[in-house]
Amino acid sequence: MKISVDDYKKFVTNKLLEHDVTEEHAGIVTEILLYADSRGIPSHGVLRLPHYIERLKHQSIKSNPSLQYNRINDVITQLNGDDGLGHIVAKYAMDEAISIAHKKGIGVVSVHKTSHSGAVGYYAKMAAEKNMIGLIFTQADALVAPYGGKEAYLGANPIAFGSPTGKDFPMVLDISTSKVSFGKVMIEKEKGNKIPKDWGLNDQGVATDNPSDVVALQPMGGAKGYGLAILVDILSGVLAGTNTGRDIEPMYKDLTKPRNLGQFFLVINPSFFGTSESFINSMASMVSSLQGCAPQEGFDKVSIPGERANLKEKDVLENGIEITDEQYEFLIS
């Protein structure tokens, strides 16, 4: 079913307010869930709200966290998220990284004691909207087998980057480092379809085409994605002093235990490498050249990361947002 964006915002915010989240924080979480639901990432939108609410009830996510900033030097801040909602901690971490980069050219924020922060492209887009390049690395609990391994060890460990383009949309790449998301396996299961054998492994560590048997995903791009997933765990976890790999507290098991996740934010201010104008002009010319590349058979055009999502978002903001009946029932309950 479709609901208006205003209703979506009202329902989601009210749910969070009911669980003692402040008005400001509820507004931030609502905006980031809306970002996911309006840009074709429903796996990270309101679908996850019941889970966040359960954790707020169990206090493994604090409704009113007290974030602590440890400013190590001019460019590095360590941020203790105090087990708050991951969206809030990540939004403030990105604000801090942007503010540092504004003054110093580079801003680095290492986060610990946070929780699931949703579609991390949102934070990359924040930097792009300030005419800066933003990179975010986020660890997650074990779901992906290491290249050549039989069992899940690494998380889907997403990487996102954003950059201004000089066009009417920022560039935003936002990808997990698994071959596909677990959500895509679930969708094929619901449709009764088989899946390609290179998506996942069964409990014997053997490649399977039965979506019901998948207990671990394969890494994106084989050994290359596996290596990137390790990089994510190093930057977001090892540097921040949090658990890594399969020692990370799972999202869905014991809801009474805080997850103590780590995250890493890097913002680069192009105006320290030349002028902001020259950077944006070069980006605009790169984007135009890419868009001008001849499409392969089966493609209508060559798209820029974030371009299609931007069009989808415009449509949703004008015409309303698609949610499931079950989600609607939850929101109005």
Ligand X SMILES: NC(=O)c1ccc[n+]([C@@H]2O[C@H](COP(=O)([O-])OP(=O)(O)OC[C@H]3O[C@@H](n4cnc5c(N)ncnc54)[C@H](O)[C@@H]3O)[C@@H](O)[C@H]2O)c1
Residues with active-site annotation: 116
Query: Whose structure tokens read 């105090």?
Result: 82
Question: Which residue lies nearer to ligand X by CB, 75 or 175?
Answer: 175
Query: Whose structure tokens read 């658990």?
Result: 243
Within 10 Å of residue 129's Cβ, how many Cβ atoms? 13
Phi and psi of 14, rounded to 5°? -60, -40
- Does residue 130 sit in helix, strand or coil? coil
The HSE-up count of residue 86 (CA atoms within 13 Å, CB side) is 30
Using a 10 angstrom Cβ sphere, with 0-12 exposed, 13-18 middle and 19 or more buried, the burial of residue 238 is: middle
Rounded CA separation 14/53 (Å): 12
Query: Which residues pair with residue 174 across a beta bridge?
Result: 160
Phi and psi of 315, rounded to 5°? -65, -45
**By the criterion CB under 6 A, which residues form the site for ligand X?**
41, 44, 116-121, 138, 140, 156, 158, 160, 172-176, 181, 303, 305-306
Contact 61, 260 (CB under 8 A): no
Where does 176-258 show beta strands of DSSP type E? 200-201, 207-208, 216-217
Q: How far is the CB of 103 from ligand X (least distance, A)?
A: 28
Contact 75, 108 (CB under 8 A): yes
Rounded CA separation 202/215 (Å): 5
Within 10 Å of residue 193's Cβ, how many Cβ atoms? 10
**Residue 57 corresponds to which tokens in the numbers above?**
């009830």
Query: Whose structure tokens read 């499931």?
Result: 324
Q: How far is the CB of 298 from ligand X (least distance, A)?
A: 11
**Residue 6 corresponds to which tokens in the numbers above?**
């205003």
CB within 8 Å of 198: residues ≥ 6 apart: 179, 207, 218
Using CA atoms, how far residue 185 sits from 118, 192, 215, 234, in Å, is 19, 11, 10, 27
